[in-house]
Chain A
Amino acid sequence: MTNAAKNITNLHQNGSINSIDVFFQFCPIPIIFFDKNWRVSKWSRRAQEVFLWEENEVIGKSVDEIHFVFEQDNELFQKVIFELATRDNCRSKNRNYKKDGAIVVCEWINVKYSNENGEILGYLTFCQDITELEENKILIEEIQHYFKTFFNSIPIPVIYLNDNLKIENSNSAFQKIFQINSNILLHNKLTEILPVSQNTLQYLEQKIENFYFSDELSFVTDISISIDENNYRDFYVSFTKHFDRYNKIVGIFGYFLDITKINILSRELNESIKLYQNLFHTSSDGIVYVSNDWEIIDANKTFCEIFEQTYLEIKGKSIKTIISTIPILEKDKENHFIEEISFDKSDGSKVILNAKIWAKKDFFGRANGYWMIFRDITAVRKLRKQLIETQQRYELAVEGSNDGLWDWDVLQKQLWLSPRLKSMLEIDTEDSFFNNSSILKLIHPGDVNFVIDTVRYHFSHFLPFGLEFRLKSYKNDNYRWYLVRGKIIKDENDVPIRVAGSLQDIHDRKLLEEKEKVLLEKLIRSNEELQQFAYVASHDLQEPLRMISSFLQLFKSRYINSLNKEATEFVNFAIDGSVRLQQMVNDLLSYSRINTRPGKFEPVNMNNLISKVIDNLKLAIRDKKACIYFNELPEEIICDEGQMFQLFLNLISNALKFSKNDVRPEILISTDENNAEYIFKVKDNGIGIDNQFKERIFKIFQRLHTRDEFPGNGIGLAICRRIVQRHNGWITFESELNEGTTFIFSISKNIKDNLYEL
């Protein structure tokens, strides 16, 4: 190019500028000649055609003035100026504007033009329009990019094998599923890079090879490839030949569709179908599938059995010919439940069924038939009837007993009350279920803690309970006493789930009990006071009495000589009376001491005891020449020995005292026993007692005879009775006047200190 420039320079110098004009006129490429200040001095014809400027329009103008260089490429142009300061020529590429503003991509050759002295005369620039070339290049790049993006973004693994059947390309889906780096894949055979199951791959490769040499354009196969030991995946593989424009095979595209999930789903679907068929055919419910026109499409075995038909008989028949009462499902209704359909069997028995009908819809939601399920509820109905009867019977029984029933659901915290219970508490509402608190607040405030504590205790120990407490009416504040019985019911894990029981009105009984209790307390108190009174009175009476008696005697002994007969008599009466009164006070004291100063209840041998009594009375016995007999007596009875001694002493001495003058007294002591008590008899042959005095003789200070006839204060039998009563026994007598008397008394075998005794 340097030579060409020199030639041009020479031409210029030789004055053969005309030849240059011709060159400028016909050169097939645009040429521009700039002066040393980069102003256009020559503009070729081709430049006119390319850039559309006429030469006379641009001569003498700078590139800026004709807005020649594309703004973004201005730097490139400056670079050319700079480079040509030090060099003779340079190449450049930039975009230029045409006169009409269109852009031209140009490749430039720029040459410095100097004279012999090295003085710069100007610059010669040659240009080639490469706009079309550039545009094609960009298009290709874009197509390549488009293909690459498409290739890598499709979720289907794809490989491209070259004519040696080695991997030329693979997309990221392929690399991802086989977990392989793209570098490793390149220029390897499939068998060389896929990890396991060589047999499968060899098979695949063989197939690909066969395919490659065959006339087929593509082939497909299913294959299972193990990615690693635990991960097998099923693929649908498709290979397609790739031909170049000369129709020569250059490679093969391979697609790997992962159908593992589809295989699993289809297996599951098969199972479901099997299961459905099993259920359908073994169901204890009768199932039938009918068309929109009620024609039977399918029916299971149970359905056939219920309606006494064979499958072949009913298939295709209208269901209405079998069950005429079947209702039509309303439009827009998905399903319908029929409580009861009855069907008369051929043997005359009646079957009761319930039925559910579903509209069957196809994929697009259009009704294409009905499912119907029939259930035989004959037995259930029968059971329910029995149950209702049983319940009614039970309720009748409970109503009869006047008790209310309740049932507390622990988990739901709900209390069911029977109608009777509701009426007892004057609850008017229709509902039979109540929450806990509404009933708890009916409990008397004084009882509520006791009730809760006791129930809680029984609850934790699973014990049945019976509680007496007050509940008020639902309507007003009238409290009544109730006996509430309950039993705790637990589930299989020993968790209490229900408490159920009864409610009994015990108000009247309770009031009576309260009254009795008050009465008893009064009785005990008055009894104690009476005993205290008797003791204190008799004790304190002794002193003044002794004064009276002593000073009367002193008076009598001192002044006897100065008293006349009548005065002596009076004094004697007074003395006699005071002594008797003293005796009575003493007796009263003994009587009251039976309860205020009791002995202990201990085992006593009655034989020894009677012997002691007899020994004590031996003087009187000797005087009366009496005979006392006793057979074998109990060797051990629980009693108060001192009092028992007193008892026998009194009875035997009475027998001796009230004996007939002319008959030798005979006294027989005998014994008998039953489960509850010992019975003693003291029989004499004395004067006897008139039966009309039966009660009187056991009362204190009651006498049947004058003191002249028989001495005594009438305290003995009263004491006897009191002793017997303390031993939870009774005393009576059988007698005939002048024949004798038998005193009979009992001693309980189970003595309790009796608070009631008086």
Chain B
Amino acid sequence: MNYDLRPAKILLVEDNIGDVRLIEEALKDTKLLNNLHNVSDGVYAMDFLRKQNGFENVPTPDLIILDLNMPRKNGFEVLQEVKQDEKLKRIPVVVMTVSNDEQDILKSYNLHANCYVTKPLDFNQFCEIVRKIENFWFSIVTLPKREE
């Protein structure tokens, strides 16, 4: 396996600070925590990814964890823009949302989401899933070489 020596960076697009806190809790014991970046809506997410409007000095993330229900610009719009952007489309996007609506799931995959995860009701399950995501995307999957 081809490991990148630099620690992987995650962009968490989530408006609910409770959820941000829960993900932080879940990642508490991993080295990823320090590289977790959080923006609170879709507009900031695109600014972050395109390094504009005050985000000029942020790194390009290795993984995007994307909520669907957000103010200003929702998750579907972010997903569509990312996947249509030549520079950004190779970044894996994990849609993590409270909805288990089939139409939301279908729409996400149609917009080329890399995976869709429903936020579990149980906290322990939630932690478990977050860790599994981390493990899957950074230990199992081979990602393309980063371009900086």
- Tell me the dominant secondary structure on chain A's binding face: helix
Tell me how far the C-beta of B125 lies from the nearest C-beta in chain A, rounded to whole angstroms: 10
Mark each residue of chain A from 529 to 548: 1 if its CB lies under 8 Å from any CB of chain B, else 0: 00000000001001100110
Q: Which of B3-11, B116-124, B135-143 binds A?
A: B116-124
Q: Does A748 contact B (CB under 8 A)?
A: no
Does the CB pair B99–A549 fall under 8 Å? no
- Chain A residue, CB-CB nearest to B100: A586
Does the CB pair B103–A543 fall under 8 Å? no
Contact of B98 among A546, A552, A597 (CB under 8 A): A546
Contact of B22 among A542, A550, A552 (CB under 8 A): A550
Does the CB pair B123–A543 fall under 8 Å? no
Q: Does A582 contact B (CB under 8 A)?
A: yes
Does the CB pair A550–B98 fall under 8 Å? no
Tell me how far the C-beta of B43 lies from the nearest C-beta in chain A, rounded to whole angstroms: 20
Does the CB pair A553–B103 fall under 8 Å? no
Which chain A residues in 305-355 approach chain B with CB under 8 Å?
none
Which residues on the A side are within 8 Å of B19 (C-beta)?
547
Chain A residues with a Cβ closer than 8 Å to the other chain, count: 15
Q: How far apart are the CA atoms of A550 and B123 in the complex, in Å? A: 5
Q: Does B54 contact A (CB under 8 A)?
A: no
Most chain A beta carbons < 10 A, residue from B25, B119, B121: B121
Tell me how far the C-beta of B117 lies from the nearest C-beta in chain A, rounded to whole angstroms: 14
Tell me how far the C-beta of A571 lies from the nearest C-beta in chain B, rounded to whole angstroms: 12
Which residues on the A side are within 8 Å of B69 (C-beta)?
543
Contact of A547 among B18, B122, B124 (CB under 8 A): B18
Does the CB pair B99–A539 fall under 8 Å? yes
Q: Does B114 contact A (CB under 8 A)?
A: no
Does the CB pair A542–B98 fall under 8 Å? yes
Q: Does A120 contact B (CB under 8 A)?
A: no
Most chain B beta carbons < 10 A, residue from A539, A546, A553: A546
Does the CB pair B16–A543 fall under 8 Å? yes
- Chain B residue, CB-CB nearest to A540: B69
Contact of B124 among A546, A557, A582 (CB under 8 A): A557
Tell me how far the C-beta of A183 lies from the nearest C-beta in chain B, rounded to whole angstroms: 123
Contact of A553 among B18, B101, B124 (CB under 8 A): B124
Does the CB pair B22–A549 fall under 8 Å? no
Tell me how far the C-beta of B83 lies from the nearest C-beta in chain A, rounded to whole angstroms: 25
Q: Does A80 contact B (CB under 8 A)?
A: no
Q: Does A579 contact B (CB under 8 A)?
A: yes
Does the CB pair B121–A579 fall under 8 Å? yes
Mark each residue of chain B from 54 to 74: 1 if its CB lies under 8 Å from any CB of chain A, else 0: 000000000000000100000
Tell me how far the C-beta of A543 lies from the nearest C-beta in chain B, rounded to whole angstroms: 6
Does the CB pair B123–A549 fall under 8 Å? yes
Mark each residue of chain B from 96 to 131: 1 if its CB lies under 8 Å from any CB of chain A, else 0: 001101010000000000000001011110100000
Does the CB pair A543–B98 fall under 8 Å? yes
Which residues on the A side are within 8 Å of B22 (C-beta)?
550-551, 554
Which residues on the B side are within 8 Å of A546 (C-beta)?
98, 119, 121
Does the CB pair B99–A550 fall under 8 Å? no
Q: How far apart are the CA atoms of A551 and B127 in the complex, in Å? A: 12
Contact of B16 among A547, A553, A557, A597 (CB under 8 A): A547
Tell me how far the C-beta of A532 lies from the nearest C-beta in chain B, rounded to whole angstroms: 15
Contact of A549 among B25, B101, B121 (CB under 8 A): B121
Which chain A residues in 43-76 approach chain B with CB under 8 Å?
none
Most chain B beta carbons < 10 A, residue from A539, A543, A551, A557: A543
Does the CB pair B121–A554 fall under 8 Å? no
Does the CB pair A554–B16 fall under 8 Å? no
- Chain B residue, CB-CB nearest to A597: B103
Contact of B122 among A539, A551, A553 (CB under 8 A): A553
Q: How far apart are the CA atoms of A514 and B113 in the complex, in Å? A: 51
Which residues on the B side are within 8 Å of A539 (C-beta)?
99
Q: How far apart are the CA atoms of A553 and B22 in the complex, in Å? A: 11
Tell me how far the C-beta of B127 lies from the nearest C-beta in chain A, rounded to whole angstroms: 9
Q: How far apart are the CA atoms of A554 and B24 in the complex, in Å? A: 12
Which residues on the A side are within 8 Å of B126 (C-beta)?
550
Does the CB pair B123–A557 fall under 8 Å? yes
Which residues on the A side are within 8 Å of B25 (C-beta)?
554
Q: How far apart are the CA atoms of A642 and B99 in the complex, in Å? A: 19
Q: How far apart are the CA atoms of A597 and B18 in the complex, in Å? A: 30
Tell me how far the C-beta of B19 lies from the nearest C-beta in chain A, rounded to whole angstroms: 8
Does the CB pair A551–B98 fall under 8 Å? no
Which residues on the A side are within 8 Å of B103 (C-beta)?
597
Q: How far apart are the CA atoms of A501 and B99 in the complex, in Å? A: 64
- Chain A residue, CB-CB nearest to B21: A551
Q: How far apart are the CA atoms of A136 and B48 in the complex, in Å? A: 156
Tell me how far the C-beta of A545 lies from the nearest C-beta in chain B, rounded to whole angstroms: 8
Tell me how far the C-beta of B134 lies from the nearest C-beta in chain A, rounded to whole angstroms: 18
Tell me how far the C-beta of A594 lies from the nearest C-beta in chain B, rounded to whole angstroms: 14
Q: How far apart are the CA atoms of A543 and B101 in the complex, in Å? A: 14
Q: How far apart are the CA atoms of A552 and B126 in the complex, in Å? A: 13
Most chain B beta carbons < 10 A, residue from A542, A550, A582: A550
Which residues on the B side are within 8 Å of A550 (C-beta)?
18, 22, 122-123, 126
Q: How far apart are the CA atoms of A597 and B25 in the complex, in Å? A: 36
Which residues on the B side are within 8 Å of A554 (C-beta)?
22, 25, 123
Q: How far apart are the CA atoms of A166 and B143 in the complex, in Å? A: 150
23 A-B pairs with CB atoms under 8 Å apart are A539-B99, A542-B98, A542-B99, A543-B16, A543-B69, A543-B98, A546-B98, A547-B16, A547-B18, A549-B122, A549-B123, A550-B22, A550-B126, A551-B22, A552-B123, A553-B122, A553-B124, A554-B22, A554-B123, A557-B124, A579-B122, A582-B121, A597-B103
Where the two chains meet, the residues of B that have a C-beta atom closer than 8 Å to any C-beta of A are 16, 18-19, 22, 25, 69, 98-99, 101, 103, 119, 121-124, 126
Closest 10 CB pairs of A and B: A553-B123, A550-B123, A547-B18, A542-B98, A582-B121, A554-B123, A550-B22, A543-B98, A549-B121, A546-B121
Where the two chains meet, the residues of A that have a C-beta atom closer than 8 Å to any C-beta of B are 539, 542-543, 546-547, 549-554, 557, 579, 582, 597
Q: A550-B126, A552-B123, A554-B123 are in contact. List 10 more A-B contacts (CB 8 A).
A: A543-B16, A543-B98, A546-B119, A549-B121, A549-B122, A551-B22, A551-B123, A553-B123, A554-B22, A557-B123
